[in-house]
Amino acid sequence: MGPRRFPPKSSAVNITGLDHHVLTVAEIAASAEFYERLRMRRGIFDGDRVALHFGHQKINLHQG
């Protein structure tokens, strides 16, 4: 195979940000406590769902 060819730059998609990430974890409470030690803030949304916030980023925790 020859070198991979990418479409012209003008047709590329420009991503300016992500709304959130999702981590699937074994234990939400233990995971949230761990990330709080890394200075992330725990938040609750939609009643009982847990998210971690740092700067403009958000990580939702889902139990797997």
pLDDT at 36: 97
15-51 pLDDT per residue, tens: 888 889 999 999 999 999 999 999 999 999 999 999 9
pLDDT at 41: 97
User: Looking at residue 25, which CATH number applies to its domain?
Assistant: 3.10.180.10
d(CA 29, CA 63): 10
pLDDT at 50: 97
Q: Is residue 3 part of a domain?
A: no
Lowest model confidence (mean pLDDT) among 3-7, 35-39, 44-48, 59-63 = 3-7
Full residue range of the structural domain in which residue 59 is found:
18-63
Q: Is residue 32 part of a domain?
A: yes
Q: Is residue 13 part of a domain?
A: no
d(CA 63, CA 30): 11
pLDDT at 17: 83
Q: Is residue 35 part of a domain?
A: yes
| Structure-block tokens of residue 5 | 């060819």
